[in-house]
Amino acid sequence: MRTLLGLFLLLASVTAHGAEIFCTQKLNFGDSEIQQAFLESGVREDDCVMAQIEGAVSEGDEEKLAEFLAANPSVTYIYLNLVGGDVNESIQMGYLMREWSVLTYATGSNTCASSCVLIWLGGAYRSAGDDHLKVHRFYVLDEEFRQMTGIEIDEFYREITKGLRRYLSDMGVEADQDELIRAIMTTPPEDLRVINEASHPRLFGAPTSRDQWIRANGCNIDSSVSAFGCVTKLILRDRQAAGLLPSQSD
């Protein structure tokens, strides 16, 4: 029997091109606590702090993202505008987002659909508009299904659910996990179901572990610039400790 989860991860979505990753803003927040947090961490005014990923995810994009972050270690905010793509690659990109404590966004004119939501969930803090996150059941070619027995298909979907649960748990998604998996697995591949703060409120903001970490360091998450300045400073300090961002003495 073939490795069914491997088949799922390889063929879960159709992509034509790899995702594009680029800087959208260098350090220029004016006279604000966010600006000060970056400057105190040794970030220079011509360093990139905000980036965007758009297009469709394909094999090799996790490595591309890793190289981008290594070359731009001050990037703290990433906006997502993706139609989905390779699920395994998206999961690895989500892990990378969490490793770097990136804040993930799907706002404005952007749409984060299908496996993009898995990347978004990797954020150490997550924000999205009311109709910007969209999910459906991951796509597999009919030719592949025709080669499988009924028992193999049953096992296939059990493995999909197990893989999703493992990743969601790793990302600190315990509350709303069942509801999210249900939304994904019951929406046909040709359709899209919107998920938002009204339908899945506990997916937004900081995951439980990071929320406690943030608050324990004196940051109160709300909509104010001051709060995000505090969180930004905490993330940059954490990156320096992990060796992901050069210390001021370097």
Q: Give a three-class secondary structure readout of 167-222.
A: HHHHCCCCCCHHHHHHHHHCCCCCCCEEECCCCCHHHCECCHHHHHHHHHCCCCCC
> Phi/psi at 85 (nearest 5 deg)?
140, -150
According to DSSP, the residues that pair with 48 across neighbouring strands are 26
Q: Which CATH architecture has domain 4-241?
A: Alpha-Beta Complex (3.90)
**Angstrom distance (rounded) from CA 218 to CA 226:** 12
Q: Are 215 and 223 in contact (CB under 8 A)?
A: no
- Name the residue ranges covered by the structural domains of the chain: 4-241
Task: Indicate the pTM of the whole model.
Answer: 0.88
pLDDT at residue 64, rounded to an integer: 96
241 three-class SS: helix
Q: Would you write out the chain's pLDDT as a tens digit for each of its 250 residues?
A: 344 343 344 434 444 468 999 999 998 866 677 888 888 888 888 999 999 999 999 999 999 999 999 999 999 999 999 998 888 899 999 999 999 999 999 999 999 999 999 999 999 999 999 999 999 987 777 777 788 888 988 888 888 889 899 999 999 998 889 999 999 989 988 899 999 999 999 999 888 888 888 888 888 766 555 667 788 889 999 888 888 887 655 5
**Angstrom distance (rounded) from CA 69 to CA 49:** 10
CA distances from residue 53 to 39, 79, 93, 130, 179 in whole angstroms, order as listed? 25, 6, 11, 20, 27
pLDDT at residue 129, rounded to an integer: 94
pLDDT at residue 249, rounded to an integer: 53
pLDDT at residue 154, rounded to an integer: 85
Q: Which residues contact 173 (CB under 8 A, 6 or more apart)?
A: 121, 180, 202, 203, 207
pLDDT at residue 9, rounded to an integer: 43
**Angstrom distance (rounded) from CA 133 to CA 66:** 24
* Angle subtended at Cα 173 by Cα 172 and Cα 179, rounded to the nearest 5 degrees: 175
Q: What is the DSSP letter of 139?
A: P
pLDDT at residue 250, rounded to an integer: 52
75 three-class SS: coil
